[in-house]
Amino acid sequence: MFFRWDWLRPQLTAPIVPTLGPVHPDALTVGIFEDTLRAADTGDFLPYDKDRRWGGEKDEKILRDDVVHQREHTLIPTLSRRGRGTTKVFAYGLRDSVVEEAAELAAKLAAVHDVVSARVVRPLGPRTTHPRGTRIQLKDFATGPCPAPDGPVRPITAWPTAVQETFAPFAEAMAGDGLAFLHTQIQASHCGPILAATIQERIVGAIGPMEVRPDAIGCPQLMPQYFAVLPEVRGQGLGRVLWRAAMHWGQSHGAAYQLLQTEVGGPSDRLCQAEGLTSLGFSHTTSA
C-alpha cells in the first residue's frame, strides 16, 4: 500500500480524488486512492469512473513516480494529453504553503512532459469563507420524495420528430456547456436518456444523460449530467423544472444520491442551494 491513511485522511478537506473528481464521503477511503494508482499502471478505466460511460481510453492518469506523500501534505500530479496537454497537481494539506509547492511541481512536470498547461487543484472545506471555483454538492434521495414537476419536460425521444430535430441547433448554441459533445454521444447511442424542455415546439433546455451506476462501494449513484437553458429564456423557471424532473428520474430509478459540481455564485449553484443540497466543500483551480 502506497498511501498512509493516517497521514492522508486529515488532509482531505473535501472529497475530491485525482482523475475521478468528487466522490461520496462514505466512499472516500484509502482504497480509492490506491485504485487510481493501479489504473495509472494499466491505463484502464476504473469500474466506477464516471468517464467510463463515454468509452475510449482514460485520458488523465496519475504520475505515480512524482507523488509526494508526507505527514503534513500530499501532492498528487496527473497528466492529460488532451489538446496541447495539461499537468495538474492536487494539493492536499492544511497549510497555504502547499499551493506554492504544488505550483512548482506542476510547472516542472509540464516541462518534463512537454505540455503547455500546468495547474494546481486545491480542495477546500465546506466552511471556507469567500470561496471561489466550484462547489461540490450532495443530493441525498433518502431525505424525501422527488415528485415529478409540472412543466414542458420529457425525454427527447418522447417529443414529436419535429421537436426532436430542434435539439441539434440548441446543442450547438450551448456547446460551451457541453451540449454539443452530448449530441455526438446521443448520435452514437453511448448514453442514457436526455430530458428536454420546450417552448413553442422548440427545445430550449436540456439535462442529461440520465444514468444510474454503482460507485466505489456499490451504492447506486445518479451520474453527473450536462445541464443548460438558452440565455434568452432564463428566468422563467425552466431550469428548476428540468432539475426537478432529473431528480424525479433518479429517485424513480433507484439512485441513492447524486454529486454535482457548480460554479460558485452561478445559476446552477444558486439553484442547488435553493433546493437544499448539502455543500461538501470546494475545488479551486489555479494556473501554476
* Domains in the chain with CATH codes: 5-124 (no CATH), 137-282 (3.40.630.30)
pLDDT tier for residue 131 given thresholds of 50, 70 and 90? very high
Please report the sign of the dihedral spanned by the C-alpha atoms of residue 64, residue 49, residue 26, residue 285. positive
For the chain, where are the alpha helices, taking DSSP H only?
A: 5-8, 30-42, 97-112, 161-164, 167-173, 179-187, 238-252, 267-274
For 44-178, where are the alpha helices, taking DSSP H only?
A: 97-112, 161-164, 167-173
pLDDT at 93: 96
pLDDT at residue 163 tops 80: yes
pLDDT at residue 223 tops 80: yes
pLDDT at 244: 97
Q: What does DSSP say about strands 134-140 and 278-287: parallel, antiparallel, or unpaired?
A: antiparallel
Please compute the mean of the pLDDT values over residues 254-269 and round it to a whole number: 94
Please compute the mean of the pLDDT values over residues 99-127 and round it to a whole number: 97
pLDDT at residue 55 tops 80: no
pLDDT at residue 207 tops 80: yes
pLDDT at 187: 85
pLDDT tier for residue 85 given thresholds of 50, 70 and 90? very high
Query: Which range among 49-63, 65-79, 81-95 shows the weakest confidence by mean pLDDT?
Result: 49-63
Q: Which residues of 203-221 are buried (b: 16+ CB within 10 A; e: fewer)?
A: bbbbbbbbbbbebbeeeeb
pLDDT at residue 190 tops 80: no
pLDDT at 123: 97
For 165-230, where are the alpha helices, taking DSSP H only?
A: 167-173, 179-187
Please compute the mean of the pLDDT values over residues 128-148 and round it to a whole number: 96
The phi and psi torsions of 223 (rounded to 5 degrees) equal: -70, 155
Please compute the mean of the pLDDT values over residues 49-56 and round it to a whole number: 86
pLDDT tier for residue 250 given thresholds of 50, 70 and 90? very high
Please compute the mean of the pLDDT values over residues 59-68 and round it to a whole number: 95
Residue among 219, 191, 209, 185 nearest 48 (CA): 219
Please compute the mean of the pLDDT values over residues 193-201 and round it to a whole number: 95
Among residues of the chain, what percentage have pLDDT more than 90? 90
Residue 124 CA: distances (Å) to CA of 58, 96, 215, 287:
26, 11, 23, 17
Please compute the mean of the pLDDT values over residues 156-180 and round it to a whole number: 96
Please compute the mean of the pLDDT values over residues 50-77 and round it to a whole number: 93
Residue 37 CA: distances (Å) to CA of 91, 102, 161, 259:
16, 19, 47, 23
Which grid cell sits at 148? 415529478
pLDDT at residue 172 tops 80: yes
Residue among 232, 248, 245 nearest 200 (CA): 232
pTM exceeding the 0.85 threshold for the entire prediction: yes
